[in-house]
């Protein structure tokens, strides 16, 4: 069952307990906002902000400022729809910038799924469908695949998070190299 820690302090503590390697981010900020919803953003109810991201503008027109004002990595999260695991997984967006070993593992994972990335990019319409281009699509695909691989919970949890509950199984069958690297990433993050 998923953890039920909901205050900003508890979410941060829970994320660090889940993945101690996140300490490489330094003193990151977690800010909770119950009004930060999928309906408001048109996307999700959690957002990672790097120090170089002053704000994010969503397709709905909602503009959200960086909770740390760029002083440190930050996550804005709706505590009613997310937990410490969600915060930990979202922080993985920024970890390659702070942790060379994680960056190396992530790059190996990316190389192992390169054909899959290109397949889905082209299947979805390529540059026409993704105005930010292939590199942004690739980066998002890699992060999503890693987060899905690491996610733990019940079938209902997977459904609520919009993750594939058979991702690890599928990967172990059709891409054992990526599966092995995923296990290495998980072990590294939990060290």
pLDDT tens figures, 2-21: 545 589 999 999 999 999 99
With tokens 């990019």, the residue in question is 121
Mean per-residue pLDDT, 38-53: 95
Instruction: Using the predicted structure, report yes or no on whether residue 1 has a pLDDT greater than 50.
Output: no
Read off the pTM: 0.93
Greatest distance between any 2 Cα atoms in the chain: 44
Return the domain boundaries, the chain: 8-95, 99-189
């Amino acid at each position: 069952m998923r953890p039920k820690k909901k205050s900003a302090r508890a979410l941060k503590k829970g994320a660090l307990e889940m993945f101690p390697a996140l300490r490489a981010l330094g003193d990151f900020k977690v800010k909770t906002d119950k009004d930060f919803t999928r309906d408001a953003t048109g996307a999700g109810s959690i957002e990672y902000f790097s120090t170089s991201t002053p704000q994010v503008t969503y397709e709905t027109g909602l503009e959200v400022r960086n909770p740390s004002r760029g002083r440190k990595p930050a996550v804005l999260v709706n505590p009613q729809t997310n937990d410490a695991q969600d915060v930990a997984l979202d922080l993985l967006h920024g970890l390659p910038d702070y942790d060379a070993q994680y960056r190396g593992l992530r790059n190996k994972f990316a190389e192992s799924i390169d054909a899959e990335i290109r397949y889905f990019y082209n299947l979805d319409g390529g540059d026409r469908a993704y105005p930010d281009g292939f590199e942004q699509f690739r980066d998002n695909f890699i992060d999503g695949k890693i987060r899905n691989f690491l996610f733990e919970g019940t079938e209902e949890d997977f459904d609520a998070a919009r993750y594939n509950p058979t991702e690890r199984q599928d990967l172990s069958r059709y891409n054992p190299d990526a599966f092995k690297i995923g296990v290495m990433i998980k072990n590294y993050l939990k060290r």
